[in-house]
Structure 1
Amino acid sequence: MRLAHHLLRHASGVFHFRLVVPRDLQGFLGLRIIKRSLRTRDPKLARWWAYILGARYAQIFAKARDEGISMVKERRAKDLPEQPARKRSVVLQTGSGEELIDYGCEIRPDGSMRFEATDEADHERLIEAIREAKKPPAWLTQAPSVPHATQASPPDMQSLAGAMETLGASLAQTLSTSAASAMPPAPARPRAIGKAADAWLKSIQADTLPKTLVIKTAAVMGFARHVGISKMLHEVRREDVSAWIETLRTSGLQTPTLINKASYVRGFFTWAVSAGAYAKFHKDENPAAGHVIYRKQEKKRRRAFGFKSFTLDQIQALYAPDALVNLSAGARWGAVIGLYTGARVSEVGQLALVDFTTVDGVACMTITDEGEGQSVKNEPSLRTIPIHPDLITLGLMELVERLRERGERRLFPKIKIGSVNGQGDWLSKAFGRHIEAMGIPKPDKGKYGFHSLRKTAAQTMKAAKVPLEWRCAYMGHDLDEEHVEIYSGEYGPREMREIACSGLAWGVDLVGLMTILSVHKGDS
């Protein structure tokens, strides 16, 4: 959390003012740091007092220097050049203020002083005079007052007039603006955060996948428990979200998980504004925004432990007819489609028969979120791509027509819609078992799975010199708008088939695969 200058937050949530005393006054005051409790947990009120106390102490230090108060910097004698001791006369006044005494004083090279006293009584008067001289004046030791614990709002400007004399009109105007915004207006329908979280989850339940709903519930209710279920939502501040994020990070959660959780809480606050439970804010001032940054170096380190691409030899081993026959008929087709499209496992598992169309005489497949139980990762994932010629050869379109004749609506009709882990979970598990059965060793870093087919397809097209914009269009990767315009406005499925599909040549036994894929029984 980024706090104002001179402002610290204790683990209890109470803010403290902290100021480093200028070095030339540290010896005189006898301390290096000024630290005072502000007796408040409100960050805006604490910032108020930090600005005010900082300005007041600046006045005190300036006045101290005007009075001629300064201390000799401590330096070791060995660090000083050889200089003879200097003798001078010093006039000191005792505490009574009635007697001025002129003492002989020897100032040594290391900064220390040696006074000359004639007898024991003179020595006592000298000690008393030195003590009086070392005492700071009353105006310097009278520190500015801090707010009382029960004070709920910033003080008015009139009561601060004395402390703000040297700040000028510009600073006074700034403080007045801060005072007006220190306590935000109460929302139209204030609610406890626990009840607000329940209402938000109910509002998104119908349009959210079961697994996603569980994840969002864990994030938002976890945040609610952190700040207190009964705490009013409009009292929650950005600092509370920051503290929650740091608690999650300390527990061992990684940056991508933190980003997801923060995004769910961000959506919760956005809903709260529309529901009248939280004060309106600008789009860039969501209390849950900007707390987690996923830096490029961290992404690079994490990629080393992600899914690894297959080699061509491994692909040919996995898709040998004798090996693929051990999978169910549906899993065989799912694996083959994944190989030639590089589609995500959920995109393959949710395919509906209406997603297979013909565009400009080219058989195409559409990845969409418009059908029942269908969803995509992001907007670039919505795409229509030509069906690879090898898939046509293997009989994919014949399978689609056969299922249509049977009255089916989906490519894998036996898979339940609305499963907790998504419609691609069955295929992911089946392909994972297939990898283990083939004895493919685990990589030193990372792992193999269905998603490895996506990475393999991307790298194979890159090696085949398929342009980046075509690879992104074919696989549903995000790309900046300039490149999107290149491929979206000029070329169609026919050109994409010639450019992108030509980069996916695996050298597998198509004749053998046709034999095991043409089995009608258990198409799903």
Structure 2
Amino acid sequence: MALSQAFDTMRGGVNVDLEEVLRSIRENGHRDLTIKGVTLPNGVSIAEAEINTPQDEAMLLRVLEDLAKKDPLQAAVLGISPTSIARPGPLLSERITVYLGDMRRAERSAKNVLDTEHSLGLFLALGQDKPIEQVTATDVRSFLDALEVYPSNASKKKEFAGLAPADILARAKNGGYAGLSMRTKEKHRDRIAAFFNAQAAEDLIPKAPHKAILNRAKTKTDAPSREPFSAEELALLFDHDAFTAWAIKYPHRWWGTVLGFATGARVGEIGQLYTDDVAQESGQWGVHIRARRTDQRLKNAHSSRFVPLPTSVLAAGFLAFIDDVKRAGHDRVFPHLPYSDTNGYGDNLGDQFRRYAIQRGLTGRLKSFHCFRHNVANALVNEHHVAIQVVQEITGHDLTLPPGLKHYVNPGTIPSRLAALEAYGPPMPLPAYTPGQFDRAFKQVRHMERRRGQAADKRKISANKN
């Protein structure tokens, strides 16, 4: 209606502030508009024009600007000039592409980029692609409201296969599907906020639209996502017969689980170990958590560390296992684990352990490999009263030290790290390793790598066809 009235006024030769008209449309919304049989005062006729989308609006602005350029006299009469017509900025989808490119250029982790791409893609799919300056707090609120209904792991559920996010949301509103966790919803919001903050920093928008919306209280969002395994749960996991029956198939099940239990290292840090990461420092055997190779990664700068191995792990035969790995001709400690650009080498071990835990009765959704990390930190601080600094040097959390004292390997603190881990235990007897027990499994690695390569080639061919 606003555009129609503007054209009626222009037919009468009266000046119209088109920028003000379009600003009103953006703020108050607009409906689809069809303009037919309009003749402007300079003789230019518009037989029919549909204004349905932000792209149509942009095209109309370009036409009006061209008119001002071609007929300066008539433009002056109408009060139109190229500088007075506000061209819309780049589309939301275009800025998302630029932002993701910036993240890759800054060498953000592949997982971070993928997660951000997912959040921004969901925001775009559940909303509307429009010029970036037209995205308002209302759009952000609508997205946050949608997250309250959107189902958890929708891409993995058969009933949602092939559906667009908007269709998934519509179906989820009708039926009892498990929703997103509080932490997942907050992560989506954080990524959206980071994106709009970047647009404001580039002066593409006057203010990030999310800033007008209240955050959830910290008491809601700071709930722990994982808890330590209880003594009863550890007894179930490390029952000798059950554990050895499950772990005997692959070295990473056996020793990867033991290392997680004994050191609190992250599953990805364990999965990416090479044989030369197992070494002696100040006379103590341990593992270097580091990123010296292109397929190794750290969560943050504080994660780089040396973790001494307690006596129980060495007594269980870990060094004999490392000798077996080298004798089999492998550089990586756990050569059966496949690499993922998103999560490195940790996915398979984490998934396999999760299935094993469920088989052993640990069905809670937060019972995962990462709980070992909480076992170590909790026991060291609350049960053994180890200094926070020592705990941080073991787990790789942020050190509360001046920058000059943050050493990757600080020989002077290795004895205190070892003493802490010896005190911890770990608190369950570890299964004894028999040298050579994985020799047959090591021979299967080449065949597994060949099959993975063939599967990857098939996926590429399929993708190219589509």
TM-score range, shorter chain: 0.5 to 0.7
Contact kept? 1:255, 1:294, Cα under 8 Å: no
CA distance in 2 between partners of 1:272 and 1:381 (Å): 31
Q: Which residues in structure 2 correspond to 1:375-454 (within 5 Å)? A: 375-404=297-326, 406-418=328-340, 422-437=344-359, 439-440=360-361, 442=363, 447-454=366-373
Alignment map for 1:278-357 (pairs within 5 Å)? 278=204, 288=210, 293=215, 295-299=217-221, 302-303=223-224, 306-326=225-245, 327=247, 328-330=249-251, 331-357=253-279
Q: Secondary structure at the match of 2:340?
A: coil
Find the counterpart in structure 1 of residue 441 from structure 2: 522
One-letter amino acid matched to 1:332: W
Q: Which has the higher helix share?
A: 2
Instruction: Tell me whether 1:499 sits opposite 2:398 in the alignment.
Output: no
Q: Does structure 1 retain, via aligned residues, the 8 Å contact 2:278–2:288?
A: yes
Q: Does 1:197 align with 2:96?
A: yes
Name the CA shift for 1:346/1:291 in 2 (closer, same or farther; >3 Å).
farther
Instruction: State which of 101, 116, 121 in structure 2 corresponds to 1:216.
Output: 116
Write out per-residue CA displacement over residues 289-331 of structure 1, whole angstroms, 9 at most, x where no aligned residue: 685645442246x43xx54433335434533443322222321
Contact 1:245–1:291 (Cα < 8 Å) also in 2:
no
1:418-474: CA deviation from partner (whole Å, max 9, x where unpaired): 26565222112222333344x44546xx64332232222233323123233322321
1:268 aligns with 2:183: no
Aligned AA (1:522) = A
User: Which of 235, 258, 268 pairs up with 2:185?
Assistant: 258
CA distance in 2, matches of 1:265, 1:192: 16
Aligned-pair RMSD on alpha carbons?
4.1
Q: Is the 8 A contact 2:182 2:221 kept in 1?
A: no
Written as runs of structure 1 = structure 2, the 5 A alignment for 1:81-96 is none
Distance 1:517 1:360, change over 3 A: same
SS of 1:514 mapped into structure 2:
coil
Distance 1:521 1:210, change over 3 A: same
The structure-2 alpha-carbon separation of the partners of 1:297 and 1:268, relative to structure 1 and needing over 3 Å to count, comes to: closer
Please give the alpha-carbon distance, in whole angstroms, between the structure 1 residues aligned to 2:126 and 2:218: 30
Do structure 1's residue 248 and structure 2's residue 135 form an aligned pair? no
Alpha-carbon distance, 1:256 to partner: 2.0
CA–CA separation in structure 2 for the residues paired with 1:433 and 1:418: 20
Residue correspondence of structure 1 range 167-178 to structure 2 within 5 A: none
Counterpart Cα distance in 1 of 2:280 and 2:211: 44
Tell me if structure 2 keeps the 8 A contact 1:209–1:418: no
State the TM-score, normalized to the length of structure 1.
0.53
Q: From the superposition, tell whether residues 478 and 246 of structure 1 become closer, same or farther in structure 2 (CA, over 3 Å).
A: farther
Cα deviation code 1:87-121 (max 9, x no counterpart): xxxxxxxxxxxxxxxxxxxxxxxxxxxxxxxxxxx
Contact in 1 for aligned 2:268/2:343 (Cα 8 Å): no
| Cα distance in structure 2, aligned partners of 1:272 and 1:435 | 44
Partners of 2:263 and 2:421 within 8 A in 1 = no
1:87-166 → structure 2 map (5 Å cutoff):
none
243 and 395 in structure 1: CA distance in 2 versus 1, 3 angstrom threshold: same
228 and 434 in structure 1: CA distance in 2 versus 1, 3 angstrom threshold = closer
Q: Is this contact kept in 2: 1:385–1:474, CA < 8 A?
A: yes
Identity of aligned residues (%): 20
Q: Distance in 2 between matches of 1:482 and 1:290?
A: 37
Shift of 1:365: 1.7
Tell me how far apart the structure 1 counterparts of residues 339 and 417 of structure 2 sit (CA, whole Å): 31
Q: Classify 1:401/1:278 alpha carbon distance in 2 versus 1 (closer, same or farther; 3 Å).
A: farther
Q: Within 2, Cα distance between the matches of 1:272 and 1:518?
A: 57
Greater Rg by CA: 1
Structure 2 length-normalised TM: 0.58
Is the contact between residue 183 and residue 221 of structure 2 (CA under 8 Å) also seen in structure 1? no
Q: Contact 1:333–1:517 (CA<8 Å) still a contact in 2? A: no
Residues matched between the structures, number: 331
By how many angstroms is 1:343 displaced?
1.7
Q: Tell me, in whole angstroms, the C-alpha distance in 1 between the residues paired with 2:214 and 2:290.
A: 30
Question: What is the CA–CA distance in structure 2 between the aligned matches of 1:371 and 1:292, rounded to whole Å?
Answer: 43
Separation in 2, partners of 1:291, 1:405: 60
Offset from partner CA, 1:194-231 (integer Å, 9 cap, x none): 122233335545856665544322211233345532x2
Give, in whole Å, the separation in 1 of the partners of 2:182 and 2:416. 40
Deviation beyond 6 Å, 4+ runs, structure 1: 482-490
Aligned to 1:120: none
1:334 Cα shift?
0.9
Q: Displacement of 1:497 after TM fit? A: 0.7
SS in structure 2 of the partner of residue 325 of structure 1: helix
Q: Aligned equivalents of 2:327 and 2:118: distance in 1? A: 44
Name the SS of the counterpart of 2:392 in structure 1.
Answer: helix
SS at match of 1:358: strand
Q: Could you tell me which runs of 5 or more consecutive residues in structure 1 were left unpaired when the two chains were aligned.
A: 1-37, 44-185
